[in-house]
Amino acid sequence: MSTPLSPPPLTDDCFALPPGTHWTPVSEAHDMLRTRLRTVVGQEVVALAEALNRILAQDVVAARANPPQPNSAVDGYGLRHAETVVGPQTLPLATGRAAAGAPFGSVLPLGHAVRILTGATIPEGVDTVILQEDVTTDGTQIAFHGGLRKGANLRRAGEDVDAGAVILQAGRRITPADLALSAATGLSELSVHTRLRVAVLSTGDELAQPGETARPDQIFDANRPMLLAMIKRFGFEPVDAGRAPDDRDALKAMLDAAAADADLILTSGGASAGDEDHLSALLNESGAMNLWRLAIKPGRPLALGLWNQKPVFGLPGNPVAALVCALIFARPAMGVLAGEGWHAVEPLMVPANFSKSKKAGRREYLRARLRDGKAEVFTSEGSGRISGLSWAEGLVELPDNACEIVPDTPVAFHSYASFGL
């Protein structure tokens, strides 16, 4: 007869972080990712119309000055400063005018003023422009009060950008304003990195696909649509690598396919050390696996490895933890792989509209949003609560050390938008 099994005794530390285990602080994990990863994507030249959100592969040099020639900043009249006096005076108007795109075409006759419109190239001889509101005219002459500043209302050639100047630096993610600057300085195409291809793979026998009839014991795969959409928002190329069952051979085949098609693989689920945690088992077998026990809530284990030379981020299965780990670890890592370098997201310090007592030893992220300038947090911290992710508009980050938050304590708020979502 076998001895009846009894459960293991409770230990002193059952509510504490495991002693002797090294819980890696977030900042240490960041340092490792920043220093160990490098750009893995290539380069291509794209037209300005295709360049929004792409990452510059090289510094951009202005092909032309802006403005290319001196021009008028206002609608008014051009004249020679030396021909003005302090006090009331008149000047005859030269025949013709200078308009944007339709130059005056000759030298301003001595002792004259010339009609000039905003953006018009400054005619030779003109060194000052008087605002039309400061002038009366009968069409043949203008009357005004002198005492103008020489050079008034002129834009100098190159006062914005000189030809040959570096206007944008490699690694920059191109914004609408960058397209204006590039176009203005004579560029029609830019050298950018090829888009980072990121495969997203879900794992678990319990996962049904949207549109399928789910068995009562199944849940719908929430992480894959979320992670694929996040990658798209980040400006990378999402690759749907499907759902792997809790079967080692099937997962292996799907990892092979994902590695062949992408620069990076994001998986969710199966990353801990349980019976059905095949991802960590496989990465372990491949010999290029590190299970990072992170001092973070929600989150904890993040399986990092290489599969056929492609980096794999094994995110936790819980959707809340998956999103937090994707934003806090995968997002900056993707930046490095994609050629934009490491970017720490700057939080906004705002007063809390909640109370919380936090223990030392790990960093915490709370689902949060700003209302009336204050951060409010979701009622439940349960990491399966997907409704809270959708309710939130960002995360409140509480530091590694212990802290006592009461209403109006300043807290660090990271909007989803600040991550690029």
Work out whether 316 is an interface residue with ligand AMP (CB under 6 A): yes
Cβ 339 vs Cβ 171: under 8 Å: yes
Site residues for Mg ion, 66-125, by CB under 5 A, read: none
- Kindly tell me which of 78 and 269 has the beta carbon lying closer to Mg ion: 269
HEC sequence for the chain: CCCCCCCCCCCCCCCCCCCCCCCECHHHHHHHHHHHCCCCCCEEEEEHHHCCCCEECCCEECCCCECCCCEECCCEEEECHHHCCCCEEEEEEEEEEEECCECCCCCCCCCCEEEECCCCECCCCCCEEEEHHHEEECCCEEEEECCCCCCCCEECCCCCECCCCEEECCCCECCHHHHHHHHHCCCCEEEEECCCEEEEEEECCCEECCCCCCCCCCEECCHHHHHHHHHHHCCCEEEEEEEECCCHHHHHHHHHHHHHHCCEEEEECCCCCCCCCHHHHHHHHHCCEEEEEECEECCCEEEEEEECCEEEEEECCCHHHHHHHHHHHHHHHHHHHHCCCCCCCCCEEEEECCCEEECCCCEEEEEEEEECCEEEECCCCCCCCHHHHHHCCEEEEECCCCEEECCCCEEEEEEHHHHCC
Task: Tell me the β-bridge partners of 93.
Answer: 113
Work out whether 223 is an interface residue with ligand AMP (CB under 6 A): yes
Q: How, if at all, do strands 113-116 and 88-98 pair? A: parallel
Site residues for Mg ion, 244-273, by CB under 5 A, read: 269-270
In whole angstroms, how close is the CB of 272 to Mg ion at the nearest point? 9
Amino acid at position 115, single letter? R
In whole angstroms, how close is the CB of 198 to ligand AMP at the nearest point? 16
Work out whether 316 is an interface residue with Mg ion (CB under 5 A): no
Which residue among 125, 204, 298, 335 contacts ligand AMP (CB under 6 A)?
204
Which residue among 182, 268, 280, 353 contacts ligand AMP (CB under 6 A)?
268
- The alpha carbons of the chain give a radius of gyration, in whole angstroms, of 31
Q: How, if at all, do strands 296-297 and 363-371 pair? A: parallel
Which residue among 63, 107, 219, 273 contacts ligand AMP (CB under 6 A)?
219
Q: Number of residues interacting with ligand AMP: please give it, by CB under 6 A.
A: 18
Which residue among 67, 317, 332, 394 contacts ligand AMP (CB under 6 A)?
317
- Kindly tell me which of 16 and 219 has the beta carbon lying closer to Mg ion: 219
- Kindly tell me which of 326 and 366 has the beta carbon lying closer to Mg ion: 326
In whole angstroms, how close is the CB of 238 to ligand AMP at the nearest point? 15
Work out whether 270 is an interface residue with ligand AMP (CB under 6 A): yes
Kindly indicate which of the ranges 11-19, 177-185, 188-196, 204-212 contains the residues binding ligand AMP, using the contact rule CB under 6 A.
204-212
318 binds, among ligand AMP, Mg ion, none (CB under 5 to 8 A by kind): ligand AMP
- Kindly tell me which of 84 and 318 has the beta carbon lying closer to ligand AMP: 318
- Kindly tell me which of 190 and 239 has the beta carbon lying closer to ligand AMP: 239
Q: Going residue by residue from 189 to 208, which x/- string records binding to Mg ion, judged by CB under 5 A?
A: ---------------x----
- Kindly tell me which of 144 and 365 has the beta carbon lying closer to ligand AMP: 365
Burial class (CB within 10 angstroms; exposed 0-12, middle 13-18, buried 19+) of 270: buried
- The rounded distance, in Å, linking the Cα atoms of 291 and 284 is 9
162 binds, among Mg ion, ligand AMP, none (CB under 5 to 8 A by kind): none
In whole angstroms, how close is the CB of 261 to Mg ion at the nearest point? 23
Kindly indicate which of the ranges 53-61, 164-172, 265-273, 395-403 contains the residues binding ligand AMP, using the contact rule CB under 6 A.
265-273
Work out whether 254 is an interface residue with ligand AMP (CB under 6 A): no
- The rounded distance, in Å, linking the Cα atoms of 198 and 311 is 10
In whole angstroms, how close is the CB of 325 to Mg ion at the nearest point? 15
In whole angstroms, how close is the CB of 194 to ligand AMP at the nearest point? 28
Q: Going residue by residue from 270 to 309, which x/- string records binding to Mg ion, judged by CB under 5 A?
A: x---------------------------------------
Work out whether 202 is an interface residue with ligand AMP (CB under 6 A): yes
Residues near ligand AMP, by CB under 6 A: 202, 204, 206-207, 219, 221-224, 268-272, 316-319
Q: Which residues here bind Mg ion, judged by CB under 5 A?
A: 204, 269-270
